[in-house]
Amino acid sequence: MKKQKTQRIDKILAASGYGSRKDVKKLIKTGQVSINGIVVNDAGCHVNPSVDEIVVAGKYLAYHENIYIMMNKPEGVICSTRDNVEITVIDLLQGEYSHRKLFPVGRLDKDAQGLVFLTDNGKMAHRLLSPKNRVDKTYYVEVRGKLKQCDVEAFTQGIELEDFTTLPAKLDILESEDISRAYVTICEGKFHQIKRMMKARNKEVILLKRLTLGPLKLDDELAPGQWRELTKEEIDSLS
Ligand code: URA
């Protein structure tokens, strides 16, 4: 049987946005916190938030051990947690979850757009990013130049770049004109990978939008810059 997970009440409250550990201690000292109907006075007491009923200042606490967010990143925003000059994906959350240590899982270039997954679950992020797990990511791309069957074959074989040869990738051509449109699926996440693969085929990427990350699909109801928490089904699909 799985061991029930308990945590200190002050840690749970701090992670739920009730302020610093010091603020939380004050809440407890002033009798504003109860567990299963009993007022607590020990900030270090252990509770299981998925079983125990926690009430703070008369309100039930819905505790989430981790936060999972999908965002439709617009162009011009960087995938970092903070920056003195650029707007980051964390800035787009507008202070919500500022009490959690959220970070983007993997990177999407500043001039790229689409699905960015943010969490504070380091283990899950590591699983999604680990090269040995070969997690597929699909992008919609527009390139200058005609995409041809020989490009599809080159992607399938893996493309030789200056520093490495890519693993086999999938190129689905949607339209082949002076500006071509396609879906590209890669299972790595090297720096500027798709731009470099296209450049090796004499094409210049003019639009790049990530649509999927493993089982996660960008919600098309999210306008650029918008985000939402993952559903339970989405979280389960990643676990
Ligand atoms: N490939 C790129 O070239 N850029 C990205 O942001 C993602 C994949």
* CATH code, domain carrying 154: 3.30.70.1560
| 1 domain-assigned | no
Q: For residues 9 and 33, is the Cβ–Cβ distance under 8 A?
A: yes
> 194 and 230: one domain?
no
User: The pTM is what?
Assistant: 0.89
Residue 5 pLDDT grade (very low, low, confident, very high; cuts 50, 70, 90): confident
Question: What number does the ligand 1 atom closest to the CA of 189 have?
Answer: 8
| 2 domain-assigned | no
The pLDDT value given to residue 239: 86
Distance 196 CA to ligand 1 centre (A): 9
Distance CA(60)–CA(54), nearest Å, equals 6
> 141 and 209: one domain?
yes
Distance CA(167)–CA(185), nearest Å, equals 11
Residue 4 pLDDT grade (very low, low, confident, very high; cuts 50, 70, 90): low
Question: What number does the ligand 1 atom closest to the CA of 195 have?
Answer: 3
Distance CA(157)–CA(38), nearest Å, equals 64
* Residue found under tokens 């504070």: 120
The pLDDT value given to residue 3: 57
Q: What is the pLDDT of residues 166-207, one digit of tens each?
A: 999 999 999 999 999 999 999 999 999 999 999 999 999 999
> 161 and 197: one domain?
yes
> 142 and 194: one domain?
yes
> 169 and 106: one domain?
no
Q: Whole domain around residue 56: which residue ranges?
A: 7-60
Q: How many domains does the chain have?
A: 3
> 76 and 101: one domain?
yes
| 34 domain-assigned | yes
Asked if the model's pLDDT at residue 1 lies above 50, the reply is no
Active site residue 178: no
Distance 197 CA to ligand 1 centre (A): 10
Question: What number does the ligand 1 atom closest to the CA of 197 have?
Answer: 3
> 120 and 220: one domain?
yes
> 120 and 16: one domain?
no
> How far is residue 153 CA from its own chain's centroid?
31
> 94 and 41: one domain?
no
Among 42, 52, 91, 109, the active-site one is 109
Distance 51 CA to ligand 1 centre (A): 42
> 164 and 205: one domain?
yes
| 148 domain-assigned | yes
Pocket test for ligand 1, best of 75, 108, 143, 212 (most atoms within 8 A of CB): 108
Residues with a CB atom less than 6 Å from ligand 1: 108-109, 112, 192-195, 208
